[in-house]
Chains A and B, each alone.
Chain A
Amino acid sequence: MLLTEMVSSLEYVPYWNKPKHQMTTQVNNSDLHFASVRELRSKFNKREISSSEVTKVTLDRIATLEPRLNTFITVTPENAIRDAKLADERLQGTGQEPTALTGVPVMVKDNFSTKDVPTTAASNILKGYIPPYDGTVVSLLKQAGAVILGKGNLDEFAMGSSNETSAFGPVHNPWDTERVPGGSSGGASAAVAAGQCFMAFGSDTGGSIRQPAAFCGVVGMKPTYGLVSRFGLLAFGSSLDQIGPLTRTVADCSDALNIISSHDHRDSTSVSAPFTDFGQELDIGIAEMNIGVPKEYLVEGIEPGVRSAFEASLKTLESLGANVSETSLPLTDHALAVYYIIAPSEASANLSRYDGVKYGLGFLNANNSAQATESARGEGFGDEVKRRILLGTYALSAGYYDAFYKKAQQVRTLIRREFTDSFLKFDALVTPTSPNVAFKIGGKINDPFQMYMNDVCTIPVNIAGLPSISVPGGMSEGLPVGLQFIGPQFGDTTVIRAAAAYERATNWHKNHPLI
């Protein structure tokens, strides 16, 4: 039976209308769910399947898997079915010219502002909040004809490395549901890995796209700071936050960036790309490319399985003709401290807007305005968010500003310089994305500093505002390992080139979890 016949024979009943006992437990792991967006597009072009059909089967898959994975905070099936219908008109040539994402079912992380669709940042303080506007990336996705399925689970306000700080419960890693998917874009990475969407969009402040991509065996990229507008992204650390895609292939990643990257006057840090196509070097290979391996990233405590996967990846890069050599970035050891001063400081300022007046929890019986705000924030914010707001407040408070915040910003300058010098010699750097594979839910949540150590390989990149991509780079103990490429500022096309060459030479991206 053709898939299209299978789909049309299904009477579509959304899962929220189904009695619990009728929920399907049988999972159909058909190739369609794990197709890349380019493969899906080819099926659209050959009329093998329509966007409406693929959207319906994807919504069904979400319904089947959500009780086990919890990747979505909000699913918007009516909107998705409506948008898929419009996309089909475009694909059939009766509407606007289709784009690379027309008709493609996608997820956006729930810290993206979406008009008329609840946006929570996984926080109790925003329960019930319905934005009056779309952020720039959401607008661009809608204009491109992408079908937004709903809002992805995340660590509260994107603060976390395991998705366990969400007020809506943890996300489970589809490779082993007792383990975390990484964070903070854990819903996004798990949904792409599990075939609940064809790509997802997350935000990365210290590794929040790349580390979960690594833990779930998918591709995740943080472009150069400024290339994607942050307008409508609920702000965490404004000088570090950057939006990017999580996908199944490097080509899909560059196609997605071509859609969402644009100069935006509503974001004062927005910059225009000095190139027209993120994928312009996709196919040219890495012969003679100079790739540096900064030894500080092979930290003490790196898991042996991650180390051996990484060493095997270096051999692959050499076999493709790259000149791979060791280098040193000594300030890497200070990056974690710099980050955990700057990010919480910026967060403490950004999150001061949540006062329970214009939106959020209101304490209508409080004696005065200050008490109402203190109660709203005391009840509305979870432990990790409180911890970071207080850490930032402390670092910015009288008497400590110079010792912490200013010092961190000065070391930030030195870290940037160290990278800049390194890129005089190397076209790209390569490191493991994380020193470990996905850990057990509950394993690190009670030790904040241990949790922060997860981001030791991804954080320096945000500090310097550089482009970086994580691709599936091996397996350890049955779990995916990520390989990270880092490029110079605006070297986005170079990291995509290196990642694509590595992907062509390996099969790791073809592994899918058996759910």
Chain B
Amino acid sequence: MNPLSKKDVEHIAKLAYIKLSKKETEDLRMQLSNILSHFASLSTVKTDGIEATGHTTDSNTVMRNDHPEQPLDQNDVLRNAPDRDGEFVRVRPVLE
């Protein structure tokens, strides 16, 4: 497969919400291209009609009775927020 371009790396970094420096972008371009080139061999494995495995055990939706349970302590949860206003977590503007 073709090596990744600088634009490819910038695109996936944007999708992943990660700010990269110029040097990081270039290093990652080379490293990811190298890693992906090792994956090309997978295309030689015949998989027509083979189902995909997501989990190796059955993953079931867990049901419980609709009784309220003891919630986490509000203060224990909010103490970790970088920007807090009383009972609220404050975020930077989402819509400009």
- Known contacts A362-B83, A372-B91, A386-B28: does B19 contact A378 (CB below 8 Å)? yes
Binding site for A on B (CB under 8 A): 4, 8-9, 12-13, 15-20, 24, 28, 31-32, 34-36, 38-39, 41-43, 45, 47, 50-62, 64, 72-73, 76-77, 79-83, 89, 91-94, 96
Number of interface residues of A (CB under 8 A): 76
A268-288 contacts to B, CB under 8 A, are 268-269, 271
Beta-carbon nearest neighbor of B49 in chain A = A410
Q: Are A386 and B20 in contact (CB under 8 A)?
A: yes
In the bound complex, residues from chain B placing their C-beta under 8 Å from that of A340 are 35, 38-39
A positions within 8 Å CB-CB of B: 115-116, 128-130, 132-133, 225-226, 239, 265-266, 268-269, 271, 331, 333-334, 336-338, 340-341, 348, 352, 355-364, 366-375, 377-379, 381, 383, 386-387, 389-391, 393-394, 397, 403-404, 406-414, 416, 448-449, 452, 464-465, 489
What's the dominant secondary structure at chain A's contact region? helix
A264 — nearest CB in chain B belongs to which residue? Answer: B62
| Interface pair B19/A357, CB less than 8 Å apart | no
Partner of A337, one of B12, B41, B80: B41
- Give chain B residues whose Cβ lies under 8 Å from the Cβ of A268: 59-62
Pairwise interchain contact A338-B92, C-beta atoms closer than 8 A:
no
Contacts of B64 in A (CB 8 A): 265
- Asked whether, in the complex, the Cβ of B17 is within 8 Å of the Cβ of A377, the reply is yes
Q: Given the known A-B contacts A334-B42, A341-B39, A357-B91, are A410 and B56 also in contact in the complex, defined by CB atoms under 8 Å? A: no
Interface centre among B18, B24, B50, B94 (most CB of A within 10 A): B18
Known: A386-B28, A449-B38. A410 touches B47 (CB 8 A): yes
Known: A265-B62, A387-B28, A411-B45. A357 touches B34 (CB 8 A): no
Known contacts A355-B17, A413-B51; 6 further A-B pairs (Cβ under 8 A): A130-B79, A334-B41, A336-B38, A364-B83, A377-B19, A409-B53
B57 touching A225 by the CB < 8 A rule? yes
Closest approach, in angstroms, between the C-beta of A424 and any C-beta of chain B? Answer: 18
Q: Is the CB of B12 within 8 A of A394?
A: yes
Most buried by B among A115, A360, A362: A362
With both chains docked as a complex, state the minimum distance between the C-beta of A197 and any C-beta of chain B, in angstroms.
Answer: 27
Contact B12–A381 (Cβ < 8 Å): no
Q: Are B57 and A386 in contact (CB under 8 A)?
A: no
| A390–B45 alpha-carbon span in the complex (Å) | 25
Complex Cα spacing A372 to B96, Å: 14
Enumerate chain B residues within 8 angstroms of A226, measured Cβ to Cβ.
Answer: 56-57
Contact A387 B32 (CB under 8 A): yes
B19: which of A271, A375, A407, A409 is its contact (CB, 8 Å)?
A375
CA distance A364 to B81 in the complex (A): 11
Can you list 16 A-B contacts (CB < 8 A)? A132-B77, A239-B54, A334-B41, A334-B42, A337-B41, A357-B91, A358-B80, A359-B80, A359-B81, A366-B92, A367-B92, A371-B92, A386-B28, A393-B12, A410-B53, A448-B35
A159 to B: closest C-beta gap in Å: 13
B34, B59, B92: residue with the most chain A Cβ atoms closer than 10 Å: B92
- What is the CA–CA distance of A153 and B36 in the complex, to the nearest angstrom? 30
A103 and B76 alpha carbons, distance in the complex (Å): 28
User: Known interface pairs A340-B35, A375-B19, A407-B47. Does A397 touch B12 (Cβ–Cβ under 8 Å)?
Assistant: yes
